């Protein structure tokens, strides 16, 4: 492998100068600079990141701790974060949490030794933040920024970038209300997570604006996470009970699909008998029949924000504790 010394020899300068040309070109005279650059080019020199990392006290990789890469929300996010980091010359070290808290803890403890450039936590699972806070503060104090994506952790002092769930759901419920189909039900977990609360809050806000009181029999609080079966079960149950409902705002696309399947299995027509809007904007939503209307996330914008944050960090600027990204309402066949 070709090293700084090789380049230096070829350019007739010292290794330091080579380093300078690469890191802060403006403090080197134009003549020397171009000679060095030429040598770099000719020899195909690429700095050894481990030597750099050792010397500078930190590497070029950012760890992404993701809830479950297999879920499309996370894989989409991962894709854009990777692109965003690559755009500013950083690498993505991927760790799949698989929804296990102990792994998060362990990873966070290893992080300092890894000399990471930063840590992104992208998980919608409940994070034992109280317990983790000292570890995280230690990391931040040691120069390793920790940010949360998709889950608001700003109250714990962790810069967070997330979608504005309340506004998104609110807009979708507005739409369902405007179509004047009758009662709108809400399907999703509410109390178990901040995101759940935020989404439900959007539902309440929309009803409130329309001057409608929340009917408890139309709030179906699914217990079994955000999965398909729960949606199917809740919808089936409501239909069994004979609840009068013309549209459903589901807090996830899986739930929505489950609810839709339950309705279809009972020979109800979607959207004629029941309109359904999901949340998440997963790609398969467009391919099921009827195609699922949904409140889609904007992973690209999320990625851009992350890029902005890291760029700010690199430049030594302060970063905001809270940033929001707008969701968008994607209307397809189901509503």
Chain positions contacting a copy of itself, by CB under 8 A: 1, 46-51, 53-54, 59, 61, 64, 68-70, 72, 74-76, 78-79, 82-83, 86, 91-96, 98, 110, 112-115, 228, 254, 257-258, 261, 264-265, 282-284, 287-289
Question: With contacts defined by CB under 7 A, how many residues of the chain interact with DNA?
Answer: 30
Q: In the bound complex, what is the minimum distance in angstroms from residue 109's beta carbon to DNA? A: 16
Q: Sign of torsion, CA 295 321 306 103?
A: negative
Residue range at the interface with DNA (CB under 7 A); choices 16-24, 78-86, 270-278, 323-331: 16-24
- Residue 22 contact, options DNA, a copy of itself, none, Cβ 5-8 Å cut-off depending on partner type: DNA
Secondary structure class of 148 (helix, strand, coil)? strand
* 13-19 own/partner pairs: CB under 8 Å, 24+ apart: none
Q: Which is nearer to a copy of itself, 48 or 208 (CB)?
A: 48
DSSP 8-state assignment for residue 294: E
Looking only at residues 18 through 77 of this chain, which bind DNA when binding is defined by CB under 7 A?
18-20, 22-23, 27-29, 31-33, 45, 47-48, 51-52, 54-57
CA distance 143 to 314: 11
DSSP 8-state assignment for residue 92: E
CA-to-CA dists, residue 56 to 53, 60, 117, angstroms: 5, 10, 11
Alpha carbon 136 to chain centroid distance?
19
- Residue 220 contact, options DNA, a copy of itself, none, Cβ 5-8 Å cut-off depending on partner type: none
Q: Which is nearer to DNA, 31 or 89 (CB)?
A: 31
In total, the chain counts a number of residues equal to 335
CA distance 225 to 252: 10
Q: Which is nearer to DNA, 46 or 223 (CB)?
A: 46
Contact set with DNA (CB under 7 A): 1, 3-5, 12-20, 22-23, 27-29, 31-33, 45, 47-48, 51-52, 54-57
């Amino acid at each position: 492998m070709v090293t700084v010394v090789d380049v230096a020899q070829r350019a007739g300068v010292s290794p330091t100068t080579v380093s300078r040309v690469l890191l802060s070109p403006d403090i080197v005279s134009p003549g020397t600079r171009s000679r060095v650059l030429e040598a770099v080019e000719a020899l195909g020199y690429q700095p050894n990141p481990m030597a750099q990392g050792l010397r500078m006290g930190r590497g070029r990789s950012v760890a992404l701790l993701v809830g479950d890469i297999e879920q499309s929300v996370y894989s989409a996010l991962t894709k854009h974060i990777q692109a965003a980091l690559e755009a500013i010359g950083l690498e993505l070290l991927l760790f799949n949490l698989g929804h296990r808290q102990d792994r998060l803890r362990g990873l966070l403890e290893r992080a300092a030794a890894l000399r990471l450039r930063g840590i992104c936590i992208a998980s919608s699972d409940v994070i034992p933040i109280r317990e983790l806070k000292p570890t995280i503060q230690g990391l931040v104090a040691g120069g390793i920024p920790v940010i949360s994506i998709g889950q608001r952790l700003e109250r714990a002092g962790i810069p967070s970038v997330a979608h504005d769930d309340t506004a998104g759901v609110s807009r979708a419920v507005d739409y369902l209300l405007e179509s004047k189909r009758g009662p709108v039900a809400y399907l999703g977990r509410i109390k178990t997570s901040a995101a759940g609360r935020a989404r439900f809050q959007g539902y309440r806000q929309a009803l409130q604006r329309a001057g409608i009181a929340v009917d408890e029999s139309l709030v179906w609080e699914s217990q079994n996470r955000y999965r398909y079966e729960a949606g199917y079960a809740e919808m089936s149950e409501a239909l069994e009970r004979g609840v009068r409902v013309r549209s459903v705002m589901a807090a996830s696309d899986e739930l929505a699909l489950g609810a839709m399947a339950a309705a279809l299995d009972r020979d109800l027509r979607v959207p004629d008998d029941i309109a359904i809007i999901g949340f998440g904007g997963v790609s398969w939503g467009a391919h099921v029949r009827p195609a699922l209307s949904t409140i889609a996330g904007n992973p690209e914008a999320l990625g851009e924000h992350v890029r902005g944050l890291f760029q700010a960090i690199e430049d030594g600027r302060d970063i905001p504790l809270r940033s929001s990204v707008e969701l968008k309402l994607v209307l397809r066949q189901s509503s």
